[in-house]
Every structure is written in C-alpha cells, then in structure tokens.
Amino acid sequence: MKRKIIKQGHNTLTITLPSKWARDFNLKPGDEVDINERENGIFITTEKNDENSKAEINIIGLDIPSIWKYFMAVYREGYNEMVVKFDPNVTYDNPYKFTTAHSIDIKYEKKQMRRNYSSFETVQEITNRFIGFEVIEHHNDYCIIKDMSEPSSRAFDSSLRRVFLLIEQMGEEILEASKKNRVDNIKYIHDVDINVDKFHDYCIRVLNKTGLKGQKRTNLIFSTLYLLEMLADEFKSIANHIVRDMNGKKLDNIVPMADLTFNHFRKYYELFYKFDKEKVVEISKLDFEIHTYLPTLYKKKPTKRSELTDDELEIFNHFRRIREYVNSLTELRIEMEF
C-alpha cells in the first residue's frame, strides 16, 4: 500500500497508519508505537503486538522428535515468548539422539549417551539449540522462554553466509576423506549439520519477523534456505554411508564424483554473492559433466578391480540429488536478478 507524505510545520513529515491495522490493535490517539529503521525502510510495531507474540505448548505426551517440531514451529514463526508446560516426573533420553539416525554421530551413541534427562533439562537442552532463545523463568511444571536478541538485516546476512560456509565445510571434508581414504574427520559431521540447521532456522525467523526488500525476494530466499538445508542433509548422508559402509575400503570410485559435486556447489556459492553470467555457464558445464558421468558409473561392467558395490551406488544417488538441488538453487538465484 502507498501513503502520501504530509508536511506539518517547518521540518516535520508525517504519514497516516492503515486504518485496519490500527483497528486490529485497538490503537487510539496518544498511543505509542515503536519505529525501527530497516535499511531503506522502517518497521512499525506496537507493544500490544508484542504482547500477542506469545505461544504456549504442552509437551506432556509428546516424544522428543515431536517436541523438536513444536519448538521449531514457534521459533521460525517469530514468536518472542513461549510458555512450555511439562510433567516434572517424566524423564527423557538425550534430546540430540533423536535428531539423527546415523551411526556416524559418535558422541550420540547409546553407550556414551546420558539418559534420564528431567523434563526441564530436556527443554533447556533444546532451547540452547535456537539462537536468541533463553529460559527466563523456571517453575515446577512449566518454564518461560524468551527471545533475547534483536533481529536485524546484518544478523540475517551473517547467518545466511554461515549456512553456506558450513555446507562448504561438509563437502570439503567428504572430498578430503575420500582422497586420503580416512574417515576420522567426517565421523562428527552431524555437529556441522546441527549448526547448519541452527543458522537456517534463525534466517527463517528473521524473514518471518522483518522480511526483506520486496515480497518476491523474501519468497525466493525462503525457497533457497529450504533447498540448502536439504542439500546439507545429503552431504551428511554421504558421510554416514562412507563411515558405516565403506570404512576400511578403497574410496577411489567416490573421489571424482565428490570433486565434481563439491565444485558444483562452490560455484553456486560464488554465484549467489556475486552474480555473473559466466558463472552460470560454468555451473551448467559442471552440471552436464556430472549428468554424463553418473551413467558411466551405474552401467560400469563388474570386474574384479572395478566392481561397484551397492553402497557406492547409494552414495552416488546422494550426489545426484545434490546436483539437482544445485540446479534448482541456481534457477532461484537467476530469478532474483529480475
């Protein structure tokens, strides 16, 4: 919507508030609103709006994966405060055990994992995963969690950059492990993926609370973040297969595809922050190279030296998905230019 600027006095410029918005929050003459600068715009909020930015969840009867989903929903939607009700007599396993099903997550193995977390300890552990969220009150059967940060475009930019860097790290570690035939460095790749999810969720939260310049760009960034998270999961799955199924075996067949896929993603990363038609072409050439290389692997005739195992074929399937994600991400980035 547009508003005409009105001059009042010598140096004062004013605009009117949308009547529907004022009615929704029961604003009257004399009430105060908060105005925050957002690059080339302003963000107007009312304390009444902040008071309504509360959510309540009851985790009684929920398992750990379900509790995670509720927390993520409230956090991503941008609520400033959350009341969590729980049964103080219920205990849980380590909540991070349930964010992965992969054997590579060494520190989350059953033998090494502490059990019998109290309900509050479980809530506290999960809360620590979300940037800005802090438990500010703790009672017998409920606690109050509040956002102690101030979303900003600068925080969003640095968090998005962090998502890219962490995914790049995952790809680089997989490539290095394949070249050196050593899997030690990728046994803990789940921790990297947790950080990808952490910064991904924060970016979604900031978008929901403040948005970007233009709804179209905001929507494109939403889609980009979704695909980046899915891409990171594919890298984690590759690491899992290498550690679980290929440990002690030669990884020679994996190296060329790991190299191509890593460069494919890295070229897109460069394109995202510095758009250039030549980079688009480079990404297209790498895509074609991967596309034509994969069939040679799947159709490779088995010999004593070059037989491809089912485990290797499964790894190549994850590489194929990463290629598809990079293609979709590239299309979104091109769309941002128009």
- Find tokens 């947790």 and name the residue: 194
- Find tokens 């099903």 and name the residue: 101
* Token digits of residue 89: 């007599």
What integer pLDDT is reported at residue 104 of this predicted model?
Answer: 45
Instruction: Please give the average per-residue pLDDT across 46-71, as a whole number.
Output: 84
Residue 62 pLDDT exceeds 90: yes
Q: Do 184 and 322 have their domain in common? A: yes
Task: Establish if 12 belongs to a structural domain.
Answer: no
Task: Establish if 306 belongs to a structural domain.
Answer: yes
Residue 45 pLDDT exceeds 80: no
* Token digits of residue 160: 């998005």
Instruction: Please give the average per-residue pLDDT across 151-175, as a whole number.
Output: 94
Residue 163 to residue 324: CA distance in whole angstroms? 19
Where does a domain end: 147, 175, 210? 147
Q: Kindly state the DSSP code that residue 115 receives in the 8-state scheme.
A: -
| Residue 335 falls in which region: left (phi positive, over 0), alpha (psi -120 to 50) or beta | alpha
Band (304; pLDDT cuts 50, 70, 90):
very low
Q: Do 161 and 297 have their domain in common? A: yes
Q: How many structural domains are present in the chain?
A: 3
Nearest to 143 by CA among 88, 94, 100: 88
Task: Establish if 190 belongs to a structural domain.
Answer: yes
Q: Kindly state the DSSP code that residue 91 receives in the 8-state scheme.
A: E
Q: Which of these ranges, 145-159, 195-209, 259-273, has the smallest mean pLDDT?
A: 145-159
Residue 121 pLDDT exceeds 50: yes
The distance from CA 15 to its chain's CA centroid, rounded to whole angstroms, is: 38
Residue 120 to residue 123: CA distance in whole angstroms? 5
Is residue 155 within 8 Å of residue 178, measured between CB atoms? no
Nearest to 121 by CA among 93, 146, 101: 93
Is residue 254 within 8 Å of residue 312, measured between CB atoms? yes
pLDDT tens, residue by residue, 134-160: 999 999 999 999 999 887 888 999 999
Q: Do 263 and 230 have their domain in common? A: yes
Domain with 187, as residue range(s), is: 153-335
What integer pLDDT is reported at residue 100 of this predicted model?
Answer: 46
Vertex 251 angle, CA 249 and 254, to 5°: 145
Instruction: Please give the average per-residue pLDDT across 107-116, as a whole number.
Output: 58
Q: Do 24 and 108 have their domain in common? A: no
Nearest to 222 by CA among 208, 233, 209, 234: 208
Q: What dihedral do alpha carbons 160, 261, 194, 173 form, nearest 10°?
A: -110
* Token digits of residue 1: 């919507």
Instruction: Please give the average per-residue pLDDT across 198-214, as a whole number.
Output: 88
The residue ranking higher by pLDDT, 28 or 179, is 179
Residue 300 pLDDT exceeds 80: no
- Highest-scoring range by mean pLDDT, 173-182, 235-244, 263-272, 291-300: 263-272
Instruction: Please give the average per-residue pLDDT across 177-192, as a whole number.
Output: 89
Q: Do 327 and 280 have their domain in common? A: yes
Nearest to 67 by CA among 80, 53, 85: 85
pLDDT tens, residue by residue, 65-101: 999 999 999 999 999 999 999 999 999 988 887 654 4
Instruction: Please give the average per-residue pLDDT across 18-43, as a whole number.
Output: 75
| CATH number of residue 175's parent domain | 1.20.58.220
What integer pLDDT is reported at residue 264 of this predicted model?
Answer: 98
Residue 49 pLDDT exceeds 60: no
What 3-state DSSP class applies to 122? helix
Q: In what order do the strands lie in the sheet with 142-147?
A: 54-58, 81-85, 142-147, 133-138
Q: Kindly state the DSSP code that residue 14 receives in the 8-state scheme.
A: E
| CATH number of residue 129's parent domain | 3.30.1370
Burial label for 177, CB within 10 Å (0-12, 13-18, 19+), is: buried
Residue 264 to residue 322: CA distance in whole angstroms? 9
pTM of the model: 0.82
Q: Which of these ranges, 24-28, 183-187, 224-228, has the smallest mean pLDDT?
A: 24-28
* Token digits of residue 320: 């194929």
Q: Do 187 and 276 have their domain in common? A: yes
What integer pLDDT is reported at residue 97 of this predicted model?
Answer: 73
Q: Do 187 and 284 have their domain in common? A: yes
Q: Do 315 and 178 have their domain in common? A: yes
Band (42; pLDDT cuts 50, 70, 90):
confident
Q: Do 123 and 42 have their domain in common? A: no
Q: Do 38 and 91 have their domain in common? A: no
Q: Do 218 and 137 have their domain in common? A: no
Residue 102 pLDDT exceeds 70: no
Residue 202 to residue 131: CA distance in whole angstroms? 6
Q: Do 135 and 158 have their domain in common? A: no
